[in-house]
Amino acid sequence: MSKEKLELKRIDENRWEIPRAGGMRVPGIIYASERLMHDIGTDESPRQVANVAHLPGIVNYSLAMPDMHWGYGFPIGGVAAFDLQEGVVSPGGVGYDINCGCRLMTTKLTLDDISRNLKELVVALFQNIPSGVGSKGDLKLSLQDEKKVLQQGAGWAVEHGYGLPEDLEATEDGGMIKDADPEKVSVRALERGKAQLGTLGSGNHFLEIEVVDEIFDADVAAAFGLEKGQVAVMIHSGSRGLGYQICDDYLAEMVRHIGELDFALPDRQLACAYLNSKHGRDYLAAMACAANYAWANRQMLMHRTREIFARTLRKSPREIGMRLLYDVCHNIAKIEKFPLAGREVALCVHRKGATRAFPPGHPALPERYRSVGQPVLIPGDMGSGSYVLVGTEKAFQETFGSACHGAGRVMSRSKATKISKGRAIAREMADQGVIVMASGRGTLREELPEAYKNLDDVVEVVHRAGISRKVARLKTIGCIKG
Amino acid sequence: MQVFGATINELFVNGAFALFDLLADLDKVRQAVVRNVTVTGGDLSDLWVNYLRECLYLWSGEGLLLVNYTVSSIDQKQVTATLGGEAFDPARHRIRQEIKAVTYHQASVLETPQGWTGKVIFDV
């Protein structure tokens, strides 16, 4: 890894450039305000943006979103697109938790409808949705069924009674990436995936009950079915142990073959393979399996949430009206088409801690959102609520249709644990009107709100830079964590 | 994580101990199962990472907490070890901290005048 000082040039209010230097093939661009840049400057993530720019076939820029922080190989918050012939795919550019993502459901309920039952609801969700380290679901898949999940994604869950066909329309890529090949997934990964479908996981994964607190764009909010005062549910989870194992297997495989590449890597963590090589194709086929598993997982978590709401509130599903607004992934590599030098070109876009943010009119959007743009779901840190944004043409032109994915850490888990010693975090959250329950003893302290960047600051940069626009802000009233 | 050992064998024994000790409270873990592992690597630091990845898989994939470790043979590119312990039982065992992955970031194994030092960073 090169150690010379990195040059950072301010382009405008919201963007900073890392000019091409040394082996960089393209410049780096970081979306950040001055204040966020101050935090970013304290870790190695700008260096990682420059390192990604060394990879062959990278197109235009190595990009980073305002919630960026140090990640394995690529920074978290990193976006990079690669030419399909000359470019590479890197497991470190997707992340360990393949298709970690968010799903937001709206309801017909208001805060008044649930305030008396809120505690009961949070307890019921906590008791009935498996969460925490190594948690297992009620369903143990046969190998044959697991392979179907890996190929069919959320569609498998719907077909087996976990949800409605219309849920698939409101899921990125319909909840399934084509060309997923379970034969490219190791026995170990399959083993880890067998009993974890329908489980939340641990760490920063959560299920939150939220209330729409502020509307910024009334027309788009109406198209998304969002109203002030409405109760909603946000789920943040991914592909569990299966995704981790796939990333781990392919990283080890690519590290083993690092010496065979015809270019030098500035960092071994950027281990990668040409997109048109066997290793590259195999990784994408296995990654697609994990992505599909994650969509099936979130679909099942949503179905379980619908059941728990109905049972606890003693209302019919129709009265509750829990409808999927949208589901987005924020750790993925996908083949998508973009305008480049006057023509449409297919590229492999890595989004690692970044959300797709497609503009109005894009054919990938469901019919009901086609005229306004794609819903972009941005979860905050524990208890601080979420934003709903909408994708823009500018994002399509500048950031390969991408925006931020969350608040972004400013403090490691161990530091958060250290500085919160002696504090009763659940009580502090309760004082702020948020009921929190967590499985892990240390989770609440690790996930301390101060450990994250201010979500409002992050979203403001994305909004001002025009790579997504604010639609609504939701505040948390109940939260379960792993 | 930084681990020391008077010999290379001891370094790898202590590496497994450090990993499982970070993961869980090992006081109440009994010996009920034994796993023999043989791991290879391109060089010593690669071997170190792959060995710890294998140890972690025994937890994340098989749900085992391991407390007794013996390294029977080791060279620059291969290690064979025997690890003993039991399956995780939520009623008796307490998880301290999840370790999601063993990374290559700054992973190293060095021989020093005092013995051997191994470094590794976990994704937690």
Tell me which residue in B42, B98, B101 faces A133 most closely, judged by beta carbons. B98
Residues B81, B72: Cα–Cα separation, whole Å: 6
Q: What is the pLDDT along chain B (124 residues), one digit of tens a residue?
A: 999 999 999 999 999 999 999 999 999 999 999 999 999 998 999 999 999 999 999 999 999 999 999 999 999 999 999 999 999 998 899 988 889 899 888 899 999 999 999 999 998 8
Tell which wins on pLDDT, A70 or A323: A323
The strands making up A331-340's β-sheet, listed across from edge to edge, are A9-12, A15-18, A28-31, A58-69, A76-83, A343-352, A331-340
Range A5-11 average pLDDT: 90
Mean pLDDT (whole number) for A209-231: 98
How high is the pLDDT of residue A185? 98
R_g of chain B, CA atoms, integer Å: 14
pLDDT at A204: 85
pLDDT tens string A418-450 = 899 888 888 888 888 899 999 877 888 888 888
Q: Which residue of A has its CA nearest to B94?
A: A441
Please give the pLDDT value at position A408. Answer: 79
Span A366-376, average pLDDT? 97
Name A387's bridge partners: A378, A473
Over 80: is that where the pLDDT of A5 sits? no
Indicate yes or no: pTM above 0.90: yes
Q: What is the pLDDT of residue A3?
A: 56
Q: Is A442 on the interface with B (CB under 8 A)?
A: yes
Span A249-276, mean pLDDT? Answer: 92
pLDDT digits over B6-34, tens only?
A: 999 999 999 999 999 999 999 999 999 99
Domains and CATH numbers, chain A: 9-481 (3.90.1860.10)
CA B115 centroid distance within chain: 18
Asked if A210 and A476 count as a contact pair (C-beta separation under 8 A), the reply is: yes
What is the residue range of B69's domain? Answer: 2-123
Average model confidence (pLDDT) across chain A = 94
Q: What is the mean pLDDT of residues A63-69?
A: 96
A402-403 vs A355-356, strand pairing mode: antiparallel
The CATH number for B101's domain is 3.55.10.10
| pLDDT, tens digit (0-9, with 9 covering 90-100), for A87-100 | 999 999 999 999 99
State residue A440's pLDDT score: 78
Rounded mean pLDDT, A255-269: 89
> Which residues of chain A have a CB within 8 Å of the CB of B100?
96, 203, 244
Instruction: Mutation target for A interface from B48, B95, B96, B102: give the one with most A CBs within 10 A.
Output: B95
Looking at CA atoms only, how far is residue B97 from chain A in angstroms? 8
Q: What is the DSSP string of A260-304?
A: GSSS--SSGGG--EETTSHHHHHHHHHHHHHHHHHHHHHHHHHHH
Task: For residue A454, give every residue at least 6 positions away whose Cβ sits within 8 Å of its Cβ, in sequence order, or none.
Answer: A407
Terminal alpha carbon distance of chain B:
12
Q: Give A6's DSSP letter.
A: P
Instruction: Say whether residue A252 is in contact with chain B using an 8 A CB cutoff.
Output: yes
The residue that leads in pLDDT, A49 or A134, is A49
Q: What is the pLDDT of residue A1?
A: 46
Contacts of A83 (CB under 8 A, 6+ apart): A57, A59, A275, A345, A347
CB contact under 8 A, A241 and B61: yes
Q: What is the pLDDT of residues A119-145, one digit of tens each?
A: 999 999 999 999 987 778 888 899 999
pLDDT(A316) > 80: yes
Taking the CA of residue A191 and the nearest CA in chain B, the distance in Å comes to 7
